[in-house]
Amino acid sequence: MELYIAGGVGEHGRNCFFLQNGGDAILVDCGLMAGSDDPLPRLTESQIRKLKAVFLTHSHADHTGALPWLLRQGYTGPIISTTPTLQQLPFIVQNAVALEQVAPRNEKCNGITWGLSGHCEGSVWLKLDWDDKAILFSGDYTEQSAVYPCDVLRNQVADLAVLDCAYGHDSTLWNDSVTAAAAAVENLLEKTPIVFLPVPKYGCGLDLLLQIRRRLPYVPLYGDAHFCKQTEIALVDGKWYKPLPQRILRSVRPDAAENEGVVFLSDPQLRGAVGERAKELLEQGAMGIMTGTPDAGSFSSALLAEKKMEFWRYPVHLNETQCRVLTEKNNFSQVLRYHSPNFASPHRITMK
């Protein structure tokens, strides 16, 4: 059996893992490298012909953005992921199969074991048993979210574990990062009446909301239409969310022309209409806080360079230390750390 790394190791983005056993193969994730001239996973035509199934750990574009390309290359097999992940994809996929129908959560079935990974709505880790080998993919993973449940990885046995290590050598403690991000909002609000936060469509926006509301109980909070809709979904969809404080979720008001307070905008890179809204807010004297990785060439990158936004990370991945601690709590023969430029790619790993 061989794992061929089509992207995502030694770099941030384009996560794509091709697992081959004899003439058959499966793919885990099919991501794009945003802002790159060479954004696609490194898959050959003959590899694509061998594919029997594609699994998606979650909907973010660095894990799914190259799927339309894969379909254009002739892949017609199943695309398997949780129902929220499939619903969040910004394009139509034929042959979508709900992971919950293939195997129940946390129970091995058809050689597949999966659990929630705490990173966003519907995000999962996957363990695949194939012949006598077991390979575990953590997906993007955090045990710290107050919003998204995580079925923590403990005592799992695998020949190879592909683990999220997106923050690499940055050893800042989770609590310190979160406190610093919330404090940055508070500090900026002393200088400007409006602070906007570009957040992922599906991800840490709700976690940030909880942290900010706890720290700043009286500041008015606003969200664009997508963000407000996410607060409503989180209140009613108990399956994919932790129990959340209604009072806080209901305290977000729709973003309107005249605001003072904190405004959540649902696109971390501030593209299109979201970027236009950010421009209006900037004209009113607003400043932004970026909490995730900016893509090269994005409006967010430009605003960071112009110092119209500050960068304070809200952690939704693991760093090197957390990755090592996770490894110690499991039984992995081999570990491959993905999602960071800090660790070079071996390009392929053969398991005998």
The residue ranges that bind Zn ion (CB under 5 A) are: 60, 62, 140
Interatomic CA distance for residues 286 and 98, integer angstroms: 42
Single-letter amino acid, residue 81: S
Q: Which is nearer to Zn ion, 140 or 207 (CB)?
A: 140
Residue given tokens 């660790």 in the structure block: 343
Q: Which is nearer to Zn ion, 259 or 319 (CB)?
A: 319
Residue nearest to Zn ion (CB): 60
Smallest distance from Zn ion to CB 204, Å: 9
CA dist list (Å): 171 to 319, 320, 324: 6, 7, 12
Smallest distance from Zn ion to CB 119, Å: 5
Smallest distance from Zn ion to CB 158, Å: 20
CA dist list (Å): 324 to 145, 171, 191, 314: 19, 12, 40, 20
Smallest distance from Zn ion to CB 140, Å: 4
Q: Which is nearer to Zn ion, 275 or 292 (CB)?
A: 292
Q: Which is nearer to Zn ion, 159 or 295 (CB)?
A: 295
Q: Which is nearer to Zn ion, 60 or 213 (CB)?
A: 60
Smallest distance from Zn ion to CB 317, Å: 7
Cβ 266 vs Cβ 254: under 8 Å? no
Interatomic CA distance for residues 160 and 1, integer angstroms: 11
Alpha helices in 167-311 (DSSP H): 174-189, 205-215, 225-236, 246-249, 272-283, 299-305
Interatomic CA distance for residues 182 and 10, integer angstroms: 30
